[in-house]
Amino acid sequence: MSSVTELGYLGMSVTDLDAWRAYAAEVAGMEVVDEGEGDRIYLRMDLWHHRIALIKGDTDDLAYMGWRLGDPTEFEAMVEKLTNAGVAVTVASDAEARERRVLGLAKLTDPGGNPTEIFFGPQVDAHKPFHPGRPMFGKFVTGSEGIGHCILRQDDVEAAAAFYRLLGLRGSVEYQLHLPNGMVAMPYFMHCNERQHSVAFGLGPMEKRINHLMFEYTELDDLGLAHDIVRERQIDVALQLGKHANDLALTFYCANPSGWLWEFGWGARKAPAQQEFYTRDIFGHGNEAQGYGMDIPLQ
Ligand SMILES: [Fe+2]
């Protein structure tokens, strides 16, 4: 059975490329690559040509997410599996694959309406060492664990879970959070490699397709440095430093120039083989700036 191996890349539609250029490099430490295309810049996190494409647009939201398959055989098997399950999949042209810097590409939509892609063969610039946008003690955690994780808008959680299971992800509800209004939020987390989760959903109605992207540093000091820079620049922090009960990552959530959240993290554990659920986080993650879709009690 063919299965995706990682969340490989993201495209983001952004209204202010210059603000993003500064934020990605100076706050997060990513390497900005500008190839003179005019409407887009790229963010490197490792040796890949890019992990994130920032495309000038009139919305500030997720443009697409790319899930990797190991090789053309697995890619074709996934296209067939999705098609047989009634999912509309369009195998992209060579030009479209080149635009993504991959060898093969297909486009589809997840049940939440989020533009989704499957691909194989990313361009890896092995000759070009990763050069962080600001001094860093270590690197980003990528490799076989992919870029990080995203929380997506899904109005039908069961349909979303069935779709991502078809892609080959595993997982289920990992929290039952008692909300002040008496409701219980039960967010759903799914993984496809050692990263504890690559996608999650079930946070209720959302304005944007994406609530946050989480990425992870190899060194705790890089998380601390990022936190200092965020505080110095008085960037909105939606969730203060804290440790999640599911992935055990020390993280904080702050606003990006598109008005949604980036979760900066360190120290996540690997995906366990069996399911558990939690009723709160271990410590921290106190709510601070409101209105970013994370006004939920985690402690
Ligand atoms: Fe997260």
Mean pLDDT across 220-248: 98
Overall pTM surpassing 0.85 (yes/no)? yes
CA of residue 80 to ligand 1 center, whole Å: 31
Residue among 55, 62, 157 nearest 117 (CA): 62
CA of residue 211 to ligand 1 center, whole Å: 9
Segment 132-165, tens digit of pLDDT: 999 999 999 999 999 999 999 999 999 999 999 9
Mean pLDDT across 40-53: 98
Residue 65 has pLDDT above 80, yes or no: yes
Instruction: Give the sign of the dihedral formed by CA 236, CA 234, CA 288, CA 212.
Output: positive
CA of residue 185 to ligand 1 center, whole Å: 15
Distance spanning both ends of the chain, measured CA to CA = 40
What is d(CA 276, CA 147) in angstroms, rounded to the nearest whole number?
Answer: 24
CA of residue 37 to ligand 1 center, whole Å: 32
pLDDT confidence of residue 299: 84
CA of residue 204 to ligand 1 center, whole Å: 15
Token digits for 103? 């060898």
CA of residue 203 to ligand 1 center, whole Å: 11
CA of residue 263 to ligand 1 center, whole Å: 6
Domains of the chain listed by start with CATH number: 6-122 (3.10.180.10), 143-284 (3.10.180.10)
CA of residue 244 to ligand 1 center, whole Å: 9
**How big is the chain, counted in residues?**
299
Mean pLDDT across 76-102: 98
CA of residue 151 to ligand 1 center, whole Å: 7
pLDDT confidence of residue 236: 98
Element (H, E) at 73: helix 72-84
Total H helices, total E strands in the chain: 5, 19
Average pLDDT of the chain is 97
CA of residue 94 to ligand 1 center, whole Å: 34
Q: Do 90 and 96 touch, CB atoms closer than 8 A?
A: no
Q: How confident is the model at residue 248 (pLDDT cuts 50, 70, 90)?
A: very high
Residue 226 has pLDDT above 80, yes or no: yes
CA of residue 106 to ligand 1 center, whole Å: 27
Q: Do 66 and 7 touch, CB atoms closer than 8 A?
A: yes
Instruction: Count the neighbouring beta carbons within 10 Å of the beta carbon of residue 198.
Output: 28
Alpha-carbon separation of residue 199 from 163, 202, 224 (angstroms): 12, 11, 25
Residue 1 has pLDDT above 80, yes or no: no
Instruction: Give the sign of the dihedral formed by CA 8, CA 13, CA 18, CA 19.
Output: negative
User: CB-hemisphere CA count at 13 Å for 177?
Assistant: 23
CA of residue 198 to ligand 1 center, whole Å: 9
Alpha-carbon separation of residue 240 from 152, 245, 289 (angstroms): 21, 15, 9
Q: How confident is the model at residue 75 (pLDDT cuts 50, 70, 90)?
A: very high
- What residues have their beta carbon closer than 5 A to ion ligand 1? 214, 263
Mean pLDDT across 207-222: 98
